[in-house]
Amino acid sequence: MKRPTRLVLGWVLGALGGWGVAIVILLFLLLLMTLGALVSSQDNAVPFTSPATIEPIPPQLLQIYHAAGAKYHVPWTILAGINRVETDFGRALSVSSADAIGWMQFEPATWAAYSVDADGDGNADPYSPIDAIFTAAHYLAATGVTKHPDQAVLAYNHSTDYAREVLQLAVVYQAWNPLSPEWVWPVADRNDPILGVNGSDGQPESVQIRCSAGVSVRAIHTGTVTAATGTGVTLDIGNGLTVIEQGLRPDVSRGQVVDAGETLGTAATGGVSAALEEQGNPLSPTRANLAPTPPLVIAPPPSPAS
């Protein structure tokens, strides 16, 4: 079989001549480039690795998320979730393997198409948190985040795990609005922690968290125990806010003051839930009565990579 194949190949190359061979090679190279582009288009702006942990939102960024979200009708919590996963709220500003840059990790072509000079200094700078977050809101609005948040986040980064993590973070931020270092994740197991969300009228009321029965359940915020039933604990954390943690066997009693992270009891089954309420109603992001936002501090851009 090898000899006839070689004869046919030699005949074809002879018939094509030198220019024909060059054309064949060129077509082959174009095919490789096309395949490479297709693969590249499916790459993430920043490859998604491990799930992001739940941590407080830096308060100096909160007003930027709210302002950008209001201007472009984008949920501010999704902006916060993207910022957390992409650059750890601006703490990891290295250039990605896809050349994505800045606070919200935009590829240069996308930045050029959607960039916004939101801080008014005459330069749309991806290393300015204001410009970057407003640009992200501009892009998400253009990709239909209001009607299809999952698709819009997938357009931002093509990993389904990434989109899932961003949207889970957004739900937690909307339900708890953790704005200060006083907030603590209620269980130690952070491996795919969120089971689901209970809510009404589009507002999340509680976040369900996966954990093993018998593990310690911690207070997510410092407060005074106002109720300790057979299945849950209610904390008054001040400023008209109440934390309710359920699905546990309490080890605390009414009137006891507990610190954030202090053990409230043990998980009764395979999950617990935590909710934040304001004067008996689910806390709305527009009515958050938590720590005041300090003056905005903009971090200087990193030195250009050598």
Query: Does residue 234 lie in a domain region?
Result: yes
CA-CA distance, 47 to 200, in Å (whole number)?
A: 34
Average pLDDT of the residues of the chain: 74
Query: Does residue 108 lie in a domain region?
Result: yes
**The residue to which tokens 């490859």 are assigned:** 47
pLDDT over threshold 70, residue 72: yes
pLDDT over threshold 60, residue 10: no
* 39-43 contacts at long range (C-beta below 8 A, 24 or more positions apart): 40/98, 41/158, 42/158, 43/97, 43/98, 43/158
Range with the lowest mean pLDDT among 4-18, 79-93, 115-129, 147-161?
Answer: 4-18
Assess whether 172 and 266 both reside in one domain: no
pLDDT over threshold 80, residue 232: yes
pLDDT at 153: 92
Question: Could you list the residue range(s) of the whole structural domain that residue 218 is in?
Answer: 194-283
Assess whether 199 and 167 both reside in one domain: no
Assess whether 153 and 246 both reside in one domain: no
Tens digits of per-residue pLDDT, 274-302?
A: 887 765 554 443 333 333 333 334 344 44
pLDDT at 242: 84
pLDDT over threshold 70, residue 65: yes
Query: Does residue 143 lie in a domain region?
Result: yes
CA-CA distance, 214 to 257, in Å (whole number)?
A: 23
Assess whether 72 and 114 both reside in one domain: yes
pLDDT at 295: 37
- Give percent above pLDDT 70 in the chain: 63
pLDDT over threshold 60, residue 180: no
Assess whether 102 and 27 both reside in one domain: no
Handedness of CA 194, 82, 159, 91 (dihedral sign): negative
pLDDT at 67: 86
Q: How is 74-130 classified by DSSP, letter by letter?
A: --HHHHHHHHHHHHTTTT--PPPTT--BTTTTB-HHHHHHH---TT-SS---TTSHH
Confidence band for 270, pLDDT divided at 50, 70 and 90: confident
pLDDT at 288: 36
Assess whether 65 and 27 both reside in one domain: no
Confidence band for 9, pLDDT divided at 50, 70 and 90: very low
pTM strictly above 0.75: no
Tokens found for residue 210: 């996966």
Number of domains in the chain: 3
Higher pLDDT, 167 or 19: 167
Confidence band for 2, pLDDT divided at 50, 70 and 90: very low
pLDDT at 237: 84
Tens digits of per-residue pLDDT, 193-223?
A: 555 555 544 444 567 788 888 989 999 888 9
Query: Which domain CATH number covers 88?
Result: 1.10.530.10
Assess whether 145 and 216 both reside in one domain: no
CA-CA distance, 142 to 163, in Å (whole number)?
A: 17
pLDDT at 275: 80
Assess whether 199 and 272 both reside in one domain: yes
State whether residue 139 is helix, strand or coil.
Answer: helix
Query: Does residue 95 lie in a domain region?
Result: yes
Confidence band for 171, pLDDT divided at 50, 70 and 90: confident
pLDDT over threshold 50, residue 136: yes
Q: How far is CA 224 from CA 186, 238, 253, in A?
A: 16, 9, 10
Assess whether 75 and 139 both reside in one domain: yes
Assess whether 171 and 224 both reside in one domain: no
Assess whether 198 and 243 both reside in one domain: yes
- Give percent above pLDDT 90 in the chain: 32
Higher pLDDT, 166 or 34: 166
Determine the average pLDDT of the residues in 65-70. Answer: 87
Query: Which domain CATH number covers 238?
Result: 2.70.70.10
Assess whether 164 and 200 both reside in one domain: no
Higher pLDDT, 10 or 78: 78
Query: Does residue 14 lie in a domain region?
Result: yes
CA-CA distance, 250 to 267, in Å (whole number)?
A: 9
pLDDT at 255: 96
pLDDT over threshold 90, residue 129: yes
CA-CA distance, 287 to 301, in Å (whole number)?
A: 33
Confidence band for 165, pLDDT divided at 50, 70 and 90: confident
